[in-house]
């Protein structure tokens, strides 16, 4: 609903939130938190209803015991690997999961050789130990895998433009080991994506953000070109984050397509795509209302008090700003927040615990805002405002409007007129809306030429207007004269040719002759125009004899 400040989808139980999806129009953090509190109350009502149904049915939920890791696997791990775990997990900066994977490979080789039948337990146990170590060090000692502080963002690099003169706009964004290239392409209204669904037929989407995650971004081989659900979801999230700042059709009548390529991935490429896309939009001269940035935060929640005790419990936890590598994989929350300086435009949260208390989320929102403002400072230092002009390689759009009853005149029978204008001027496209708005997409001045032709075609003639016309047909009662470059035609009655009597019209006029005329009368209902030569120039026709 365009009147709403935000659209919120919340899931949870027992006063805790375990899934969150928000699209906002620069909503303030306190407003979002207030919405979560209201949602929690409604969820509680639904939960009471569900519990009443469960009680009425009277069947106990089955509990299945988790498989126990054999003791000999634990002993072997303690002998061969445990002493090196901390060194591997808390490696030097930007290492990501590399050292952990290396140690895990070594451990799995040992376990398979000693206990081949229990290899699956070895894999499970290694992950459990990494998880426990990361949680313990974060909560007890405020220690992160790459040595950063809890609120510290990895090194940033931003660049607007400079990738290729062919691109309509581009942005490069680095955050540690996450590298994004965003490219902007501008098109005419006819390039908008048409979406058909059962509820709303043929809606048009003029702002699109697509996200690509090639396998080489994580150092892997694999097929390039196919799209999966993850790419679609990440692209949609970044699109949602940017949509509130995109100018309306009336101000910027272009179809806007962004493509973000993840060249390297080590934590939150979706939020990196938001930042890269903002740079590309501003570089391309798109007059966005404000730059947008995004950051992903994480959470380490004490396992002993993992969100199972409701709102009354005190939690041991640490919120991590700008998660990467093992924090992303082993953390309890992936909390992505995008927005402007004014407020939030998009949020997506998923968790690996039963849920997160709202006060912790409120704190996470505050930390995300602080990080977002730091990124926005850097973006605005690189490019303070959208460029004044769009790329010379982008098409130019000329906007005009005709009356609704003139649309058919512009299109012509079977599209003959509009196609003729396209062919004569070389424009890319002419798009006509139901209200009479016309968008002409062209290059090298072709749009202006097409607009002039349509203007002439739909011109409403007024008494007193003067033209140089051409005689196209002669009749006993007068001459038909083409005016306005052939876009109009009127009748010069024989009495309006000269200030004296004419017996035979052929004696003074011929087909193809150029004549000055003035509009004498317009019958709009019948589409007739009466012209006069003698009022335009009384001396044009010379008296003979």
Q: What is the CATH number of the domain that holds 502?
A: 2.40.50.140
Domain that holds residue 426: 396-457
What is the mean pLDDT of the segment spanning 149-168?
Answer: 96
If you average pLDDT over every residue of the chain, what do you get? 91
452 and 473 both lie in a single domain: no
238 and 324 both lie in a single domain: yes
Residue 542 — pLDDT band, cuts 50, 70, 90?
A: confident
Residue 388 lies in a domain: no
The domain tally of the chain equals 5
**Cβ contact 163:170 at 8 Å:** yes
Question: In 3D, which of 525, 526, 454, 444 has the Cα closest to residue 485?
Answer: 454
Q: Give CA–CA dist 47/42, Å, rounded.
A: 9
Exposure string of 166-202, with b = 16+ CB inside 10 Å and e = fewer, is: ebbbbbbbbbbbbbbbbbbbbbbbebbeeeeeeeeee
Say what the alpha-carbon torsion angle 514, 520, 522, 528 is, to the nearest 10 degrees: -40
pLDDT of residue 314 exceeding 80, the answer is no
pLDDT of residue 59 exceeding 80, the answer is yes
pLDDT in tens, 216-272: 888 888 888 778 999 999 999 999 999 999 999 999 999 999 999 999 999 899 999
Q: What is the pLDDT of residue 3?
A: 74
Q: Give CA–CA dist 433/439, Å, rounded.
A: 8
Residue 95 — pLDDT band, cuts 50, 70, 90?
A: low
End-to-end alpha carbon distance in the chain: 80
Question: Which range among 296-305, 496-505, 526-535 shows the weakest confidence by mean pLDDT?
Answer: 296-305
pLDDT of residue 2 exceeding 70, the answer is no
**Cβ contact 209:242 at 8 Å:** yes
**Cβ contact 176:267 at 8 Å:** yes
195 and 335 both lie in a single domain: yes
Residue 390 lies in a domain: no
401 and 372 both lie in a single domain: no
Q: Give CA–CA dist 500/540, Å, rounded.
A: 12
Q: What is the pLDDT of residue 302?
A: 85
* DSSP codes joined into one string, 368-434: HHHHHHHHHHHHHHH-SS--SS--TTSPEEEEEE--GGGHHHHH-GGGHHHHHHHHHH--SEEEE-T
202 and 281 both lie in a single domain: yes
DSSP run (H or E) holding 25: strand 16-27
373 and 501 both lie in a single domain: no
CA angle 190, 290, 281 (to 5 degrees): 45
Residue 116 lies in a domain: yes
Residue 363 lies in a domain: yes
Residue 496 lies in a domain: yes
Residue 487 lies in a domain: yes
252 and 348 both lie in a single domain: yes
Exposure string of 458-489, with b = 16+ CB inside 10 Å and e = fewer, is: beebeeebebebbbeebeeebbbbbbbeeebb
Angle between helix axes 119-141 and 98-114 (nearest 10 degrees) is 140
pLDDT of residue 313 exceeding 60, the answer is no
Residue 65 lies in a domain: no
CATH code: domain of residue 191: 3.30.230.70
194 and 259 both lie in a single domain: yes
Residue 545 lies in a domain: no
260 and 347 both lie in a single domain: yes
pLDDT in tens, 460-514: 889 999 999 999 999 999 999 999 888 889 999 999 999 999 888 998 999 999 9
Question: In 3D, which of 313, 416, 394 has the Cα closest to residue 360?
Answer: 313
438 and 364 both lie in a single domain: no
Question: Which range among 87-96, 153-162, 269-278 shows the weakest confidence by mean pLDDT?
Answer: 87-96
What is the mean pLDDT of the segment spanning 312-338?
Answer: 88
pLDDT in tens, 394-417: 999 999 999 998 999 899 999 999
Long-range pairs for 103-107: beta carbons < 8 A, 24 or more residues apart: 106/81, 107/77, 107/80, 107/81
Residue 311 — pLDDT band, cuts 50, 70, 90?
A: very low
Q: Give CA–CA dist 276/541, Å, rounded.
A: 71
Which DSSP state fits 303?
A: G
476 and 451 both lie in a single domain: no
CATH code: domain of residue 402: 3.30.1370.10
Region label for 99, one of left (φ > 0), alpha (ψ between -120 and 50) or beta (otherwise)? alpha
361 and 506 both lie in a single domain: no
Which DSSP state fits 248?
A: P
Q: Name 87's Cβ contacts closer than 8 Å, sequence gap at least 6.
A: 99
pLDDT of residue 306 exceeding 80, the answer is no
């Amino acid at each position: 609903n365009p009147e709403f400040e935000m659209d919120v989808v919340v899931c949870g139980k027992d006063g805790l939130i375990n899934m969150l999806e928000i699209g906002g129009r620069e909503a303030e953090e306190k407003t979002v938190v207030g919405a979560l509190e209201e949602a929690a109350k409604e969820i509680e009502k639904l939960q009471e209803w569900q519990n009443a149904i469960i009680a009425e049915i009277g069947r106990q939920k089955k509990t299945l015991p988790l498989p126990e890791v054999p003791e000999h696997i634990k002993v072997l791990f303690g002998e061969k690997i445990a002493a090196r775990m901390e060194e591997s997990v808390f490696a030097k900066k930007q290492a990501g999961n590399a050292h952990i994977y290396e140690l895990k490979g070594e451990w799995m080789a040992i376990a398979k050789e000693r206990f081949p039948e229990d290899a699956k337990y070895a894999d499970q146990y290694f992950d459990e130990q990494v998880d426990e170590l990361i949680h313990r060090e974060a909560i007890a000692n405020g220690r992160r895998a790459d040595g950063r502080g809890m609120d510290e963002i990895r090194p940033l690099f931003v660049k607007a433009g400079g990738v290729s003169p062919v691109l309509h706009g581009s942005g490069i964004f680095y955050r540690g080991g996450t590298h994004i290239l965003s490219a902007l392409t501008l098109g005419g209204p006819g390039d908008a994506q048409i979406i058909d669904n059962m509820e709303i037929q043929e809606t048009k989407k003029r702002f699109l953000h697509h996200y690509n995650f090639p396998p080489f971004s994580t150092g892997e081989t694999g097929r390039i070109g196919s799209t999966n659900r993850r790419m679609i979801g990440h692209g949609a999230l970044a699109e949602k984050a940017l949509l509130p700042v995109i100018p309306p059709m009336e101000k910027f009548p272009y179809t806007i397509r962004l493509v973000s390529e993840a060249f390297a991935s080590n934590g939150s490429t979706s939020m990196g795509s938001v930042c890269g896309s903002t740079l590309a939009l501003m570089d391309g001269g798109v007059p966005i209302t404000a730059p947008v940035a995004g950051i992903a935060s994480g959470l380490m929640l004490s396992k002993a008090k993992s969100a199972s005790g409701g709102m009354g419990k005190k939690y041991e936890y640490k919120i991590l700003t700008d998660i990467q590598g093992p924090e992303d994989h082993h953390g309890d929350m992936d909390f992505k927040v995008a927005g402007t300086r004014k407020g939030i435009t998009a949020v997506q949260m998923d968790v690996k615990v039963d849920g997160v208390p709202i006060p912790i989320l409120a704190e996470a929102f505050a930390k995300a805002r602080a990080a977002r403002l730091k990124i926005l400072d850097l973006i605005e230092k690189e490019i303070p405002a959208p460029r004044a002009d769009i790329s010379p390689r982008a098409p130019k759009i000329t906007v005009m409007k005709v009356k609704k009853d003139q649309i058919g005149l512009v299109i012509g029978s079977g599209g003959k007129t509009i196609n003729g204008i396209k062919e004569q001027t070389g424009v890319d496209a002419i798009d006509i809306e139901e209200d009479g708005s016309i968008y002409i997409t062209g290059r090298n001045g072709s749009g202006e030429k097409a607009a002039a032709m349509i203007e002439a075609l739909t011109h409403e003639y007024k008494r007193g207007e003067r033209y140089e016309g051409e005689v196209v047909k002669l009749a006993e009662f007068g001459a038909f004269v083409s005016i306005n470059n052939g876009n109009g035609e009127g009748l010069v009655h024989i009495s309006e040719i000269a200030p004296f009597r004419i017996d035979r019209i052929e004696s003074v006029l011929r087909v193809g002759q150029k004549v000055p005329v003035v509009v004498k009368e317009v019958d709009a209902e019948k589409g007739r125009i009466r012209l006069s030569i003698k009022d335009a120039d009384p001396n044009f026709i010379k008296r003979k004899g």
